[in-house]
Amino acid sequence: MIRAAHPADLPAIAALHTRARATYYQGHIPEQAYLGDAELQRTREGWSRAIARDAAEGEVLCAEQDGELTGVAAFRTQDGETTLTQLHVDPVHWRRGTGAALHAACLDAWRRAGIRRVRLEVYEHNLRAQAFYATQGWLADPSAPRSGTHRTLWLQVGRVPDPSGE
């Protein structure tokens, strides 16, 4: 089930975010950068702000199975540009369709809002995520400079055909 996040979800979201990031940062950057106290506090604060954000500015979606949080996605529209800021699946739930379900829910929200183009940044060593985004239609922007250790990808959000033919 995909649903909107609630403030009570914050501890589970922050923990899931930390577990997911540890899988792709491990061995590439110092552990303190993703598991240190300051980073864990920054993670909680960032998710708290995202959950509290006005719906017109973005949304946080949770994937849940049998009452357990299995994935989370967040996007934000600022200055006319929409960014998929986070999409994490708990590593124990990889390859079960959670990421695809979250992505589809984001697409639905973007279409309802009339959003036509979305960007994201993906860690250059996170090849699993890059492959996932490629299957979802995201493309690298060769003209966009890298953002440090991240690649910029773009998605053209297509319209859902109107069943009435209009």
Q: What is the pLDDT of residues 97-122, one digit of tens each?
A: 999 999 999 999 999 999 999 999 99
Q: 3-state DSSP: the chain helix, strand, coil percent, rounded to 5?
A: 40, 30, 30
CB–CB of 123/24 below 8 Å?
yes
Pairing of strands 81-89, 139-140: unpaired
**pLDDT for 26:** 65
Q: How confident is the model at residue 56 (pLDDT cuts 50, 70, 90)?
A: confident
Q: How many whole angstroms separate alpha carbon 40 and alpha carbon 18? A: 8
Q: How confident is the model at residue 21 (pLDDT cuts 50, 70, 90)?
A: confident
Q: How do the domains of the chain map onto residue ranges? A: 2-156
CATH architecture type of domain 2-156: 3-Layer(aba) Sandwich (3.40)
Cβ neighbours for 69, distance < 8 A, ≥ 6 positions apart: 9, 12, 13, 16, 62, 63, 90
Give the residue-averaged pLDDT of 64-82: 95
Give the residue-averaged pLDDT of 82-94: 93
Residue-averaged pLDDT of the chain:
87
Q: If DSSP codes are grouped into helix, strand and coil, which group holds residue 101?
A: helix
Tell which residue, 20, 7, 138, 10, has the closest CA to residue 86: 20
